Amino acid sequence: MTFWYALVDLLPFEWAQSGSMYFMKNALLAVLVITPLFGLLSTMVVHSRMSFFSDALGHSAFTGMAIGALFGFHEPTWAAVVFAILFALLFNLVKRRSALASDTVIGVFSSTAVALGIFLSTLNGRSFTRFNALLVGDILSVEPAKVGVLALILLAVAALWLASFNQLMLSAISPALADSRGVRVFWQETVFSVAIAVVVTLSMTWVGLLVINSLLVLPAASARNVARNMWQYHLFSLLGAVLAGIAGLMTSYHVGGSAGAAITMYLALGFALTFLLRKK
């Protein structure tokens, strides 16, 4: 972190001055880790039409938090991660075994998770308001250790992308074809949904549950408007996410307001611009 603070001190901003405003510097680093993470995952979420699924995962993450809090864990986040992973695994299993359309299965899971979460968190007449922070998120409260965990996750997702993006893409295009070329479609999809589950849950506290899905949808949706191949698609998605992340944080610093929401609004602006410039 010392190195990072020294680096940030070189920036010509009022908050970047040496020895002060550490929360802002931590937040900037967190944004620089979280946004590429979402930029990468976003490409496959959009390509394999999983935006509804990732939305449902966000809901389940909240339920996991409620369960963690109920059992009095010091760090309910880890309970939430475990719950979200179970949710993703169970969803994949049910989807595979049932003849229902996947959006129906997601609807079933999502509503069950939300209901369970609300029920557990209001048990014994307790108030729901202590979970409000989770809904909105607060990136300024991020601690260096948490940024470290997120950075490890970023490395893991980058490794996953290097190792199995091809198989993942092929599975999304045609399961039958992927299967005939030796891809284990079910496992590819499962690993990917677990990755989304972990990322959504771990970053929810900083980004905010209500806007987190926009980070999984908007970067790639904008990139799709203009990209002609996978390289451009990833480049635009990553760049868009990082730029919107920085711009959102700065805006939130100067005018107040939630950073997560500000980032989302920049992403939405990016979508509007790329939509106007979209390829014919």
Partner 1 sequence: MRKIKHGKLAAGCADSCCLKLDGLSVKLEGDSILEDVSFHLHCGEIVALIGPNGAGKSTLFRSILGQMGYQGKITFSPAGGPAIRLSDGAAIGGARPLVGYVPQAPSFDRGDPVSVLDFFTAATARWPVWLPIPRKYRARAAACLERVHGADLLDRPMGGLSGGQLQRVLLALALEPVPHILILDEPLSGVDIEGEHQLLDMLDELRTQYDLSIFLSTHDFATLGQFADKVILLNRRVLKSGPPEEVLSSSEFFETFHLHMGKGGGQ
Candidate ranges 1-9, 31-39, 56-64, 165-173; the one touching partner 1 (CB under 8 A): 165-173
Among 60, 225, 252, 274, binds partner 1 (CB under 8 A): 225
Among 112, 141, 166, 190, binds partner 1 (CB under 8 A): 166
From the centroid of its chain, how far is CA 7? 27
Candidate ranges 88-96, 104-112, 130-138, 161-169; the one touching partner 1 (CB under 8 A): 161-169
Closest to 36 (Cα-Cα) out of 162, 188, 225, 216: 216
Least separation in angstroms between residue 164's CB and partner 1 is 9
Is 102 a binding residue for partner 1 by CB under 8 A? The answer is: no
Instruction: Calculate the CA dihedral of residues 158, 163, 167, 168 and round it to 10 degrees.
Output: -20
Least separation in angstroms between residue 227's CB and partner 1 is 4
Is 276 a binding residue for partner 1 by CB under 8 A? The answer is: no
58, 110 in Cβ contact below 8 A? Answer: no
List binders of partner 1 among 226-245 (CB under 8 A). Answer: 227-234
List binders of partner 1 among 4-43 (CB under 8 A). Answer: 43
Q: Which is nearer to partner 1, 196 or 261 (CB)?
A: 196
Among 90, 174, 254, 272, binds partner 1 (CB under 8 A): 174
Which long-range CB contacts under 8 A does 51-56 form with residues at least 24 apart?
A: 51/213, 51/216, 51/217, 52/103, 52/106, 53/91, 53/102, 53/106, 53/193, 53/196, 54/196, 54/200, 54/213, 54/216, 54/217, 55/110, 55/213, 56/87, 56/91, 56/106, 56/107, 56/109, 56/110, 56/113
Is 181 a binding residue for partner 1 by CB under 8 A? The answer is: yes
- d(CA 121, CA 113) in angstroms, rounded, equals 12
Q: Which is nearer to partner 1, 225 or 258 (CB)?
A: 225
234, 46 in Cβ contact below 8 A? Answer: no
Q: Which is nearer to partner 1, 141 or 166 (CB)?
A: 166
Q: Which is nearer to partner 1, 252 or 274 (CB)?
A: 274
Q: What is the contact surface with partner 1 in residues (CB under 8 A)?
A: 43, 47, 161-163, 165-167, 169-170, 173-174, 176-177, 179-181, 223-225, 227-234, 278-279
